[in-house]
Amino acid sequence: MANTLGIVHPGLLAGLATNFYPSVCTIQQATMTQDAAGQETLTWANLSGHVGLVCVFGVAKGSGREARTDQQTYVTVQRRIILPGVYTAITESMAALVDGVRYNILSVFFDSRTVQTYLDVEQVT
């Protein structure tokens, strides 16, 4: 009899969720609004169906750069977020809010079996 479930049981990720995915991620999209004086303001809103997602959150390879200009010094830290499941609505124009900190999404890709979503993100301080 053939194995119809594949190498990894479909329920494995759900079973691991409480221990293997210790962080919480919410995907947000930006909206540009104007106040009464015509000043543009960027506001962030949660993407429907992408709130409170469990995730693994870690430092990406080659992370951490410092840049200096005449006016300021800023640090860029890249990280990787792994979400159990495939989330095709997430794009690079969005942001990921992980444990209360917002990160810009640099790239979105999926594992070879399309069961996990990987987000490479950065925070500039």
Give the model confidence (pLDDT) of 62-103 as tens digits: 666 677 777 777 777 789 999 988 999 999 999 999 988 999
Closest-CA residue to 59 (of 79, 77, 83, 75)? 79
Predicted confidence at residue 78, as pLDDT, reads 86
Predicted confidence at residue 62, as pLDDT, reads 60
Predicted confidence at residue 4, as pLDDT, reads 66
Give the model confidence (pLDDT) of 13-51 as tens digits: 666 656 778 889 999 999 888 888 888 888 899 999 999
Instruction: Give Cβ neighbours of residue 37 (< 8 Å, ≥ 6 apart).
Output: none
Name the residue with tokens 């999404």.
105
Predicted confidence at residue 25, as pLDDT, reads 95
What is the rounded CA–CA span in Å between residue 3 and residue 13? 19
Q: How many CB atoms lie within 10 A of CB 115?
A: 15
Which H or E element spans position 15?
Answer: helix 12-20
pLDDT at 54 over 60: yes
Query: What structural domains and CATH numbers belong to the chain?
Result: 15-124 (2.40.10.270)
